[in-house]
C-alpha cells in the first residue's frame, strides 16, 4: 500500500507537465482559421488585381486605337487644306472646306473620347496597384501564420515549449497583418475613386 501511495504523485505530475500541449492544439486551430481567412481574402484581391490589370490594358489599347484614328483624320484634314488652296472654283473650295470642318469635328471628338478613356485606364491602373498592395499584406499574414502553425506542430511533436512560444510570436505578427489588411488598410490608404465622365460631343 505504501508503494502505491508513493507512485501516485509521480504519475499525476507527468500529465500536468504536458498540460501546455492542450493550449498548443487550441492556438494552432485558431491560427489555422486565421490563415484560411487570410488566404480567402488574399485570393480575392489577387483576382481583383488581375481583372483590373486586364481592363487597364484593354483601355490603353482602345486609347491607342483612338489616337490612330485622330492621326488619320488630322492627316486627312491637312491634305484637304492643300486641295482647298489649289481649288479653281468656289464650289470646289466650298466642298473642301466642308470636308475640312467635318474632319476637324472628328478630331475634336477623338480628343474628347481619348481624355475619357485615359481617365478609365489610369483608374484601372490605380485599382490594380491598390489591390496588389492590399493583397500583399494578406500574403504576409499568410506567411507568418503558416510559420506559426509549423512551429506549433514542432513544439507538440518534440515537447519543446520554446517552439510554441516562438510560434505564438509569429502568429501575433500574422494576425496583426491580417487585422491591418482587412480592417485598417482602407482607412489609411483609401481606394482610388472612379472617374466621372463628361459628355463626349457627337459627330454630325
Q: Does the residue 81 lie in any domain?
A: yes
Q: Does the residue 10 lie in any domain?
A: no
What's the CA angle centered on 192, arms 188 and 63, to 5 degrees? 155
Q: Does the residue 111 lie in any domain?
A: yes
Q: Does the residue 11 lie in any domain?
A: no
Q: Does the residue 98 lie in any domain?
A: yes
The count of structural domains within the chain is 1
Q: Does the residue 203 lie in any domain?
A: no
Candidates 66, 79, 35, 48; CA nearest to 173 is: 35
User: What is the torsion angle, in degrees rounded to the nearest 10, for the CA atoms of residue 7, residue 12, residue 16 and residue 18?
Assistant: 60
pLDDT surpasses 80 at 8: no
Whether the pTM exceeds 0.85: the reply is no
Which residues span the domain enclosing 28?
A: 19-188
d(CA 197, CA 137) in angstroms, rounded, equals 33
d(CA 170, CA 178) in angstroms, rounded, equals 12
Grid cell listed for 6: 508513493
Q: Does the residue 198 lie in any domain?
A: no
Per-residue pLDDT tens over the stretch 62-87? 999 999 999 999 999 889 888 888 87
Q: Does the residue 159 lie in any domain?
A: yes
C-alpha torsion sign, points 53, 55, 57, 59? negative
Per-residue pLDDT tens over the stretch 156-166? 898 899 999 99
Amino acid at each position: 500500500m505504501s508503494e502505491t501511495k508513493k507512485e501516485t504523485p509521480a504519475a499525476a505530475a507527468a500529465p500536468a507537465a504536458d498540460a501546455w500541449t492542450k493550449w498548443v492544439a487550441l492556438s494552432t486551430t485558431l491560427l489555422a482559421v486565421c490563415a484560411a481567412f487570410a488566404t480567402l481574402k488574399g485570393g480575392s484581391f489577387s483576382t481583383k488585381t488581375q481583372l483590373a490589370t486586364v481592363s487597364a490594358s484593354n483601355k490603353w489599347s482602345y486609347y491607342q486605337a483612338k489616337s490612330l484614328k485622330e492621326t488619320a483624320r488630322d492627316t486627312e484634314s491637312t491634305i484637304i487644306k492643300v486641295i482647298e488652296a489649289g481649288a479653281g472654283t468656289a464650289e470646289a473650295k466650298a466642298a473642301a472646306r466642308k470636308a475640312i470642318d467635318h474632319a476637324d469635328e472628328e478630331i475634336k471628338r477623338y480628343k474628347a473620347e481619348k481624355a475619357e478613356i485615359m481617365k478609365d485606364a489610369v483608374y484601372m491602373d490605380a485599382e490594380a496597384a491598390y489591390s496588389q498592395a492590399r493583397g500583399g499584406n494578406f500574403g504576409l499574414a499568410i506567411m507568418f501564420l503558416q510559420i506559426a502553425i509549423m512551429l506549433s506542430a514542432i513544439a507538440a511533436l518534440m515537447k519543446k515549449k520554446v517552439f510554441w512560444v516562438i510560434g505564438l510570436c509569429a502568429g501575433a505578427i500574422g494576425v496583426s497583418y491580417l487585422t491591418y489588411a482587412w480592417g485598417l488598410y482602407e482607412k489609411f490608404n483609401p481606394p482610388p475613386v472612379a472617374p466621372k465622365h463628361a459628355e463626349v460631343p457627337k459627330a454630325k
